[in-house]
Chains A and B, each alone.
Chain A
């Protein structure tokens, strides 16, 4: 996995105090007043503060403003100007539904604006305070509830400072940036504005909701079916009852805008088409490649996607069974590339038909490697031989499932099937095997059910459909006869005591070896980049996990002009990570072609600061909230569905969607920095 990670946040103040107290001039944070004014500069070891140091190189952060307060590091910072900037962002972002935020942000902003310009404001500091209090206490959502907190702190504890500032005729203009986010946005690898697209559902405009998603990636209906939902893990509604069913809402809007309400893609969407020679090659038509191509096309480039196989979609096509993601749904979304003027070139395998050099020779200005990780990792046990009949690697098996459904090649299973692994691929293998005629399907996993990395819903569905689970069991040897798998030797495992990180390990219990017969063994414990795709002459180095070595964030490889993302750079990961990489790669490639270098991204930097200081903490919901049930997909009966490959889950109804959308608490937060110099513009 590349890029940033959502880390569950702690209190926030702990880390802040350690790192900031020393250099802090004054501020208020989470109710704590910090005031180092009047101390002699010589005795204050300001220089030791590291993390709040520079925003970008040579551009120190002078002050920081957030939902819990503000921190000033430079005595010359103007609070009035800084709060005007902050409230200006709040007023711009106010959704306007509730009274205090809609009017309060505007009235406070306008008064601060007049104050900083040396004019007579409509509201004096006391009037501003009353509105700030009203917004904080009575606003409907997180934005209004938090956007005046820092200001309140300043008004209550540093009024002298504010009054001194306005006593001078005009306060100086300052540099900096503001950034609005929410726990769900921050947790999403693609940084989708989740509350915004939920708002649009609530407003009655599902097409606009889909529009918000499409700004980040083209595969909305796909993501709405198979995303692992980092957003829902971060959702603050968890603290009330259950997370908002964000994925389900995404699927609702994507499915709703079909047929007579279809949202049309066409080439006039491309505002500034570039000359013919501005061509980029994307290698691999999986989620990362498609997403990168989409964003490059929208930026005006001419994009060819070279795909080794015969269909677009990559792992989403071959790795996700049709009962979870119907093929036509995926195809309608990969077709967007063609609608935008992009080309798919199928049966074009890197390392076989062409090399990276060839691509540059064909005139492509840059190359994005989105090769995927399609070679199954072996179990590494005695007598394991992938050439045995009845031995399958997880991904290889799902490929067969794909061909089976597509009618290309029918695969029938019989007897008992054992799947080894605990992830979503293992679950997909289990559920597919049930549908392909297996008498019994066993899942063997070396840890406990709670440790399984697969989605809970997937595990439950497999259980309902009749899979037999063997936890704390591990293969010790593969048994075969006449070149056919006949079974496995299993050994029982037990949990060890928790280690320092709190994670329990497992170890084999000697003497518990036993035989489990099977006709098919599916090893679904992991994948890696196909060998032979990247060759030494390509000038692209691989890392020790046999993945393409790409820099975090900008995704540059060891070869200039070649970028890599998705599973081939990160190892097997999620659809949403792959699509996020695709967007990131498009930005980097655009910069690289136009400027010869990849630019600094202020928004990425801002997110780093928030992560490092564990902002957006979601430890409590202060006020009682009315409980509302979380919507669920209507599902087909397990007894019926276990024999079919049609989609198991159905789209929710509009009524359910509105109800679910109303559960969102809109936990928006605004953060702002004041810097010494202007912040350079980054890639859009």
Chain B
């Protein structure tokens, strides 16, 4: 298909700052320099997502082509190395031009850095330092004031006063996730990131997966900061604070405090929460086990009724995606609520009953690797008589901020253990919920028991593990052959949904996680500068190790889960369970039909004929 192929030729020889270097055909100067450990400042470029739009123009270098009298100034990110090219990265002139470029970038950039969530962790600040910025002549607050901030979404804030037009978010949303909610809007000074369809972030095709946040170099994209609301609750003597944290939080949090990536900091988190004054600390992993009880029962019922396939429902960005983009498949979604919501619901019903507490005083605060959980929390169908199941969601990032605001350094804390006897135990199955394939593996372990009455011999279902966007397998559950598929990333989800609708695939059970890799790299996890999901493998390894080392590895063997059913819910899918732990979905698709008149009114910089 590619008509243009680069001739594989002998290596190209060139020099950078006098040092001889070799490059492959069509290799950029930037890539070549990096291989030779020569640093060139970059801003819009992001290697991990193959993104080099060439918009910031900071990565300037000087090149001298053989046979040319004058040197030229080029951007290293999209200029290929040519044979005999002499490249200079640090001449006074290049440094001056880089400085001027960054100064121009700051002309309409909101420079209230002290109030910015990226303060100290900002790629733009880094670049300012690297180029040795000394003046800021062009900054004009009037320009900043004319740029827009969209605060409509419960989950995400899009603050264009801090956007540097790198387009990483657009690339990720469109090419990475296949959601295509973000577009570039406006021209000239008005250039910004906007929404493809819908009037605001809240009412758009955005599903709040938050992957865009992970690639934003500045504070332009972020989750709504609710750390103050957490403090309000913590310091209100009338309120009983009930904290929960998701399976993936404990494996993706330590690095914020200088601990090695992939450290399991479950114990430190419990200590930190106690130190902050949390009244009750629970584990979302417990609720994951409950979800497996409900969902596997639901699936077996669907199978016996020949209702196929069933999609998992624990991922709120996936639920948003289905409601916004494919409302016709909503009947195929499992009705089981997500672990976060199940925990919230049980913590406001069963827990106060057991502990003799006033449910009205309870506030459930979740710590999640996820931005969409903030969106999920406010869903109308997840509240009863105006009482939400979960009162506050903090992303992993906000939790880190909260600890810092409280003067707590996680790395210096002793590990603690859970002490609540009702909702803290978890099986290995619940622990792996945070990675792609984990929900499926957990469900199969329990389904096997339900169908055959025996435990699965080979607990670790390696055929379900892996990193491809879509994986499928046929699992023998007694006499039952269950055809399963696991998808992570919404691009893969779109692919499989299209295939299901077209009838070209045949599955019983499909697990979907909106974020590539699953929750361990969710949109609410810690940000990395100039890297996308750098710790995916480490976090996953730790998560599987938790399972491997768990005494109990099946949800149905979790004693607290057994107690919950014995003492409260009766059995999975009971009427009570159905009332408390199941939900429904609604068609919330966004109209994509536009008229030519509307489009013409929006077109700029073209010869407007009418």
- A residues adjacent to B (C-beta < 8 A): 91-100, 102-107, 122, 130-131, 134, 137-140, 191, 193, 196, 202-205, 207-208, 210-212, 214-216, 241-242, 260-266, 268-269, 271, 295, 298-299, 622-630, 632, 634, 654-655, 658, 662, 684
Contact B108 A627 (CB under 8 A): no
Q: B161 → chain A, closest Cβ, in Å?
A: 15
Docked Cα-Cα span, A105 to B599, in Å, equals: 27
Is B290 close to A, CB under 8 A? no
Total A-B contacts with CB atoms under 8 angstroms apart: 197
Note all chain A residues with C-beta closer than 8 A to B594: 207, 261, 263-264
Is B305 close to A, CB under 8 A? no
Q: B104 → chain A, closest Cβ, in Å?
A: 4
Contact A134 B608 (CB under 8 A): no
* 27 CB-based A-B contacts, threshold 8 Å: A92-B188, A94-B187, A96-B165, A96-B188, A97-B167, A97-B191, A102-B188, A103-B104, A122-B138, A138-B57, A138-B101, A140-B54, A202-B184, A203-B183, A204-B182, A204-B184, A208-B599, A208-B602, A215-B600, A260-B592, A269-B596, A624-B65, A627-B26, A630-B3, A658-B174, A662-B53, A684-B610
- Other than the known A98-B54, A140-B75, A265-B595, what 19 A-B pairs have Cβ atoms closer than 8 Å? A93-B187, A93-B188, A96-B187, A96-B190, A97-B53, A99-B101, A102-B191, A103-B189, A130-B100, A134-B97, A138-B97, A214-B600, A261-B592, A266-B597, A299-B610, A623-B79, A624-B63, A634-B1, A658-B174
Docked Cα-Cα span, A193 to B80, in Å, equals: 29
Contact B165 A628 (CB under 8 A): no
Known contacts: A96-B189, A99-B55, A203-B183. The answer to whether A212 contacts B606 by CB under 8 A is yes
Contact B82 A624 (CB under 8 A): yes
Is B78 close to A, CB under 8 A? yes
Say which residue of B1, B191, B196, B595 sits within 8 Å of A95 (CB atoms).
B191
Known contacts: A624-B79, A627-B26. The answer to whether A98 contacts B57 by CB under 8 A is yes
Is B72 close to A, CB under 8 A? yes
Is B609 close to A, CB under 8 A? yes
Contact B175 A193 (CB under 8 A): no
Shortest Cβ-Cβ A-B pairs, 7 listed:
A96-B191, A629-B4, A211-B599, A204-B183, A203-B184, A629-B2, A103-B104
Q: How many residues of B contact A (CB 8 A)?
A: 68
Contact A98 B603 (CB under 8 A): no
Note all chain B residues with C-beta closer than 8 A to A91: 188
Contact B55 A97 (CB under 8 A): yes
Contact B80 A626 (CB under 8 A): yes
Q: A376 → chain B, closest Cβ, in Å?
A: 36
Docked Cα-Cα span, A263 to B100, in Å, equals: 43
Quick one: closest A residue to B589, CB to CB? A260
Note all chain B residues with C-beta closer than 8 A to A94: 187-188
Note all chain B residues with C-beta closer than 8 A to A208: 599, 602-603
Note all chain A residues with C-beta closer than 8 A to B108: 103
Docked Cα-Cα span, A95 to B57, in Å, equals: 15
Is B107 close to A, CB under 8 A? yes
Q: A666 → chain B, closest Cβ, in Å?
A: 11
From A139, A193, A627, residue with most partner B Cβ within 10 Å? A627
Contact B608 A215 (CB under 8 A): yes
Quick one: closest B residue to A242, CB to CB? B4
Known contacts: A95-B187, A97-B53, A193-B607. The answer to whether A268 contacts B3 by CB under 8 A is no
Docked Cα-Cα span, A22 to B75, in Å, equals: 41
Note all chain B residues with C-beta closer than 8 A to A655: 175
Is B170 close to A, CB under 8 A? yes
Contact with A along B1-27 (1 / 0, CB 8 A): 111111000000000000000000010
Docked Cα-Cα span, A93 to B599, in Å, equals: 19
Q: A218 → chain B, closest Cβ, in Å?
A: 10
Docked Cα-Cα span, A625 to B28, in Å, equals: 9
Docked Cα-Cα span, A357 to B170, in Å, equals: 59
Contact A138 B60 (CB under 8 A): yes
Q: B610 → chain A, closest Cβ, in Å?
A: 5
Docked Cα-Cα span, A137 to B72, in Å, equals: 8
Known contacts: A106-B189, A260-B592. The answer to whether A624 contacts B3 by CB under 8 A is no
Quick one: closest B residue to A180, CB to CB? B605
Interface residues of B in 281-302 (CB under 8 A from A): none
Note all chain A residues with C-beta closer than 8 A to B78: 625-626
Q: A487 → chain B, closest Cβ, in Å?
A: 40
Note all chain A residues with C-beta closer than 8 A to B174: 204, 654, 658
Is B141 close to A, CB under 8 A? no
Note all chain B residues with C-beta closer than 8 A to A204: 170, 174, 180, 182-184, 196
Quick one: closest A residue to B1, CB to CB? A632
Contact B57 A140 (CB under 8 A): yes
Docked Cα-Cα span, A185 to B65, in Å, equals: 32
Contact A103 B182 (CB under 8 A): no
Note all chain A residues with C-beta closer than 8 A to B58: 99
Note all chain A residues with C-beta closer than 8 A to B355: none
Contact B609 A215 (CB under 8 A): yes
Contact A99 B104 (CB under 8 A): yes
Contact A193 B184 (CB under 8 A): no
Q: B95 → chain A, closest Cβ, in Å?
A: 13
Is B593 close to A, CB under 8 A? yes
Contact A205 B183 (CB under 8 A): yes
From B55, B60, B167, residue with most partner A Cβ within 10 Å? B55
